[in-house]
Amino acid sequence: MFKDIVEFIQKIYQTKDFISLHEPKFVGKEKEYIEKCIESTFVSSVGIFVNKLEIKIAKYTGAKYAISTTNGTSALHISLLLAGVDEDCEVITQPLTFIATCNAINYCKAKPVFVDVDRDTMGLSPSALEFFLKNNTKVKNKKCINIKTNKIIKACVPMHSYGHPCKIDKIKTICNKYNIFLIEDAAESLGSFYKNKHTGTFGQIGTLSFNGNKIITAGGGGCIITNDKSLAVKAKHLTTTAKIPHKWDFNHDMIGYNYRMPNLNAALLIAQLEKLNNFIKNKRKLANDYEKFFKSIDYFFFKEPKFSRSNYWLNVILLKNKKQRDKFLDYTNKNGVMTRPAWKLMNKIKMFKDCHQLDLKNANYLEERIVNIPSSVRF
- Which H helix or E strand runs over 214? none
pLDDT per position as a tens digit, 340-368: 999 999 999 999 999 999 899 999 999 99
Query: pLDDT category, 246, cuts 50, 70, 90?
Result: confident
Cα four-point dihedral sign 189, 193, 195, 201: positive
Helix 48-61 and helix 30-40, axial crossing angle in degrees, nearest 10: 140
End-to-end CA distance of the chain: 27
Does position 145 have pLDDT exceeding 90, yes or no?
A: yes
Round to whole Å and give the CA distance between 212 and 162: 15
Predicted TM-score of the model (pTM): 0.96
* pLDDT for position 1: 86
Per-domain residue ranges of the chain: 2-25+276-373, 30-273
Does position 261 have pLDDT exceeding 90, yes or no?
A: yes
* pLDDT for position 210: 98
CATH code of the domain occupying 30-273: 3.40.640.10
Does position 221 have pLDDT exceeding 90, yes or no?
A: yes
Does position 98 have pLDDT exceeding 90, yes or no?
A: yes
Helix 2-12 and helix 276-296, axial crossing angle in degrees, nearest 10: 150
pLDDT per position as a tens digit, 42-97: 999 889 999 999 999 999 999 999 999 999 999 999 999 999 999 999 999 999 99
Does position 255 have pLDDT exceeding 90, yes or no?
A: yes
pLDDT per position as a tens digit, 283-337: 999 999 999 999 999 999 999 999 999 999 999 999 999 999 999 999 999 999 9
Round to whole Å and give the CA distance between 302 and 281: 18
Mean pLDDT for all residues in the chain: 97
Query: pLDDT category, 140, cuts 50, 70, 90?
Result: very high
Query: Which is the CATH superfamily of the domain at 2-25+276-373?
Result: Aspartate Aminotransferase, domain 1 (3.90.1150.10)
Cα four-point dihedral sign 125, 131, 132, 133: positive
Q: In the chain, what is the greatest distance between 2 CA atoms, to the nearest angstrom?
A: 67
Please give the backbone phi and psi of residue 269, each rounded to the nearest 5 degrees, phi first: -70, -35
Query: Which of the 8 DSSP states describes residue 346?
Result: G
Query: pLDDT category, 379, cuts 50, 70, 90?
Result: confident
Does position 247 have pLDDT exceeding 90, yes or no?
A: no
Does position 138 have pLDDT exceeding 90, yes or no?
A: yes
